[in-house]
Chains A and B, each alone.
Chain A
Amino acid sequence: MVKYIVPLAIFVIIAAFFAVGLRMNPNYVPSPLVGKQMPTFSLPSVTDPQNLVSSEALAGRVSLVNVWGTWCVECRHEHAFLLELARAGLPIYGLNVRDDRAAAIDWLARLGNPYVSSGFDPEGKAVIDWGVTGAPETFLIGSDGTILHKHISPLTLGIWQRDFVPLLREHCGPADCPFLAALGGR
Chain B
Amino acid sequence: MRVLPKLSVVWLAFVVFAWALGAQEGFDDPVLNERYRELIHEIRCPKCLNESIGESKAPVAADLRREVRRLLTEGASDDEVKTYLSSRYGEFVLYSPPLTPTTFVVWAAPFALVALGGLVFWRILAARRNQPLDEEPPP
Contact = CB atoms under 8 A, between A and B. Distances in A.
Interface in B65-106: 67, 86-92
Interface string A21-35: 000000001111100
A123 B64 CA distance: 11
A29 B46 contact: yes
Q: Could you tell me the dominant secondary structure of chain B's interface residues? A: helix
Contact of A133 (B47, B87, B91): B47
A128 interface: yes
B59 interface: yes
Nearest to A71: B59
Nearest to B46: A133
Interface residues of A, number: 15
B88 A129 contact: yes
A134 B64 CA distance: 12
Most chain B CB within 10 A, of A30, A125, A130, A131, is at A131
A26 B91 CA distance: 15
B89 A32 contact: yes
A29 B88 contact: no
A128 B88 contact: yes
Contact of B60 (A32, A125, A133): A133
B63 interface: yes
A84 to B, nearest CB: 28
Interface in A112-160: 123-125, 128-131, 133-134
A39 B30 CA distance: 34
A134 B47 contact: yes
Given A98-B59, A124-B59, A124-B63, A130 B47 contact: no
Contacts of A32: 86-91
Nearest to A33: B88
A134 B63 CA distance: 11
A30 B47 contact: no
Given A32-B86, A134-B47, A134-B60, 12 more contacts: A29-B89, A31-B89, A32-B88, A32-B89, A32-B90, A32-B91, A128-B63, A128-B64, A129-B88, A131-B89, A133-B46, A133-B89
28 contacts: A29-B46, A29-B90, A29-B92, A30-B90, A31-B89, A32-B86, A32-B87, A32-B88, A32-B89, A32-B90, A32-B91, A33-B88, A123-B63, A124-B59, A124-B60, A124-B63, A128-B64, A128-B67, A128-B88, A130-B88, A131-B88, A131-B89, A133-B46, A133-B47, A133-B60, A133-B89, A134-B47, A134-B60
Interface of B: 46-47, 59-60, 63-64, 67, 86-92
